[in-house]
Amino acid sequence: MSSSGTGSCLQVHAVRIGPGQELLGSLQAFVEQRRLQAPFIITCVGSVTKATLRLANAMATNTNQVMHLSGRFEIVSLVGTLNQDAHLHISLSDLEGRTIGGHVLGGLEVFTTAEVVIGEAVDLHFSREMDERTGFPELVVQTRSNSDK
């Protein structure tokens, strides 16, 4: 299913996730508490001591290659949508500046902080539906009715 671009007004939220908290779960709880219907990451800076990622080549080779990281990592990028079935990609930098990234599966344990700015397209609703072409649940964008806002 393909969707044409749809415009929307933007509402901005900011949250700081503290040491020891799991980043993905904390963001999903924030979205749920505020009943956000079309949330996405605008920006994120911070650090983690653990991460569980699915690597990109897993899709090409039909394997589910998962990487479990442990150590101190700077979050150099976090992007994606935060609807109920969040789809986030992260880039992390190690102590020597080398980066690794992939699809966030969870296990992102915050080291010192994660400062996240979340946008919500207030006129839209995000959901996911299985796409037979890709074999993955893909983003579906719908326009909200006035009663849903």
For 21-44, the pLDDT digits (tens) are: 999 999 999 999 999 999 999 999
Residue 103 domain-assigned?
yes
Residue 21 domain-assigned?
yes
CATH number of the domain encompassing residue 110: 3.30.1330.80
pLDDT tops 90 at residue 113: yes
Q: For residues 2 and 133, what is the distance between their CA atoms, to the nearest angstrom?
A: 11
Residue 4 domain-assigned?
no
Instruction: Provide the residue range defining the domain that includes 84.
Output: 11-144
pLDDT tops 60 at residue 130: yes
Residue 68 domain-assigned?
yes
Residue 5 domain-assigned?
no
* Amino acid 135: pLDDT: 84
96: Cβ–Cβ under 8 A, 6 or more apart, which residues?
none
User: 34 exposed, middle or buried (CB, 10 Å; 0-12, 13-18, 19+)?
Assistant: middle
Residue 88 domain-assigned?
yes
- Position 83 confidence tier, pLDDT thresholds 50, 70, 90: confident
Rg, C-alpha atoms of the chain: 16
Residue 3 domain-assigned?
no
For the chain, the residue count is 149
Q: Which residue has the higher pLDDT, 27 or 1?
A: 27
Lowest pLDDT segment from 5-14, 24-33, 47-56, 107-116: 5-14
Q: Domain tally for the chain?
A: 1
* Amino acid 63: pLDDT: 62
Residue 1 domain-assigned?
no
pTM: 0.86
